[in-house]
């Protein structure tokens, strides 16, 4: 019943969002095409450096499906994984409240003015799918105290963390803020309870990983973000 409702909702959503892609979408297709053909100019190289995983993912999808490069960003590849992982996250956090999970998922997936972010292939949309996966894994790791798969969860979380950093610069900063506040809040709670912070090294290593990759290996922070902040401040 629930999945039937979701499926009908998605079909209605796809008809409403049909063709409503971001103006920048064709540019992403062009960069992916240049990546496939090996004809990478300076502008394409700069874009790829900002979101390596996204452009390689786009190129792989084009090669595997043989879809027209000009149309790749108008196919609803992201809608099902976006909806499913968000539903699973809310379902977990709400103590398996099916109705709340369903309503919040439907509101979230239909909240954008254009479909690029949640419906079609888009760096920040895919980044959010990975971020919700990160949240879900963290929730499982923190609530299932007696789990025997702690090491597997930790390794998976680190891999998802790295994928986010190379997929979307926007989502990278969301991830960093979450890790910062999550670690801070859990540290305060641990001190007040007289205990010690769970997975302390793991949390701090994730924060360091974000800082090293996002600020050290990515030119976007220095060449774009810092310059924008400089012009705003002066």
Is the model's pLDDT at 97 over the cut of 80? yes
Judge contact between 85 and 66, C-beta under 8 A.
no
In a domain, residue 69? The reply is yes
Q: Are 124 and 168 in contact (CB under 8 A)?
A: yes
Q: Is the pTM of this model over 0.85?
A: no
Least confident of 46-60, 112-126, 219-233: 219-233
More confident residue, 152 or 199: 152
- Confidence at residue 73, expressed as pLDDT on a 0 to 100 scale: 78
Domain membership of residue 227 (yes or no) is no
What percentage of the chain has pLDDT greater than the value 70? 76
Determine the structural domain holding residue 57 and report its residue range: 28-75
Tally of structural domains, the chain: 1
> According to the 3-state scheme, what is the secondary structure of 90-148?
HHHHCCCCHHHHHHHHHHHHCCCCCCCCCCCCCHHHHHHHHHHHHHHHHHHHHHCCCCC
pLDDT in tens, 104-141: 888 887 776 555 677 788 888 899 999 999 999 988 88
Residue 108 CA to residue 135 CA, distance in Å, equals 16
For residues 49 and 220, give the distance between their C-alpha atoms in angstroms, rounded to a whole number: 8
What is the distance between the alpha carbons of residues 96 and 86, in angstroms, rounded to a whole number? 13
Kindly state whether residue 229 falls inside one of the protein's structural domains: no
């Amino acid at each position: 019943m629930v999945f039937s409702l979701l499926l009908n909702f998605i079909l209605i959503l796809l008809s409403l969002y049909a063709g409503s892609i971001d103006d920048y979408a064709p540019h992403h297709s062009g960069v992916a095409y240049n990546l496939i053909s090996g004809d990478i100019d300076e502008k394409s190289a700069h874009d790829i450096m900002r979101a390596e995983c996204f452009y390689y993912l786009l190129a792989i999808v084009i090669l595997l499906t043989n879809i027209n490069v000009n149309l790749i960003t108008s196919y609803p590849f992201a809608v099902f994984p976006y909806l499913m992982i968000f539903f699973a996250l809310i379902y977990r956090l709400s103590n398996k409240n099916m109705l709340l999970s369903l309503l919040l998922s439907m509101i979230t997936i239909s909240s954008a003015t254009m479909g690029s972010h949640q419906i079609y292939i888009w760096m920040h949309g895919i980044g959010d799918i990975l971020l919700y996966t990160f949240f879900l894994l963290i929730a499982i790791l923190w609530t299932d105290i007696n789990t025997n798969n702690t090491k597997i969860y930790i390794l998976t979380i680190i891999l998802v963390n790295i994928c986010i950093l190379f997929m979307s610069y926007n989502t990278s900063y969301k991830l960093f803020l979450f890790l910062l506040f999550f670690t801070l809040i859990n540290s305060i709670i641990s001190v007040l309870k007289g205990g010690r912070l769970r997975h302390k090294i793991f949390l701090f290593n994730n924060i360091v990983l974000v800082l090293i990759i996002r600020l050290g290996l990515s030119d976007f922070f220095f060449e774009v973000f810092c310059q924008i902040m400089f012009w705003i401040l002066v």
